[in-house]
Amino acid sequence: MITNQISAERNEESLRKEFLFIMKNIDERKVSEIESKFHSDYADSVYIKGSGSIFSSNKTNYIQSLKDGKIGGVERDVRIHSIDFIDQFGFVKVDLESKVMKFQSMYTFYFDNGEWKMIKAVVVAEKK
């Protein structure tokens, strides 16, 4: 029975709901709502079109940038292209668009102790 419950919690709808919750709270800079949603090994790689450089951060740096107002705080439209799974991992491919930026992204989640945790983000950002 526990196995069936875990399988039900790891389905596409549960990951979609978790992803949208995280994005909404990043847009609203509600750090307290989402800090626990990031896996302790979280890392991201961000490429800003035309810059020729990749920027990377970890969970600590990302959360601090959110607290400092360097990122987030702008509502984005979300268009999910796909949600896929490999064992305990879930992958969300998405386009995000605000009034000032467009993002093509792939987020990786890990199903950890009964809940999804964001563990990796690869983002291509473009200023509008």
Q: What tens digit of pLDDT does each residue of 51-69 get?
A: 989 999 999 999 999 999 9
User: How far apart are the C-alpha atoms of 125 and 105, rounded to whole Å?
Assistant: 8
Q: What tens digit of pLDDT does each residue of 73-125 get?
A: 999 999 999 999 999 999 999 999 999 999 999 999 999 888 999 999 999 99
Per DSSP, the three-state class of 61 is: helix
User: How far apart are the C-alpha atoms of 116 and 10, rounded to whole Å?
Assistant: 8
Q: Which is more confident, 6 or 81?
A: 81
Per DSSP, the three-state class of 119 is: strand
Confidence category of residue 6, pLDDT binned at 50, 70, 90: very low
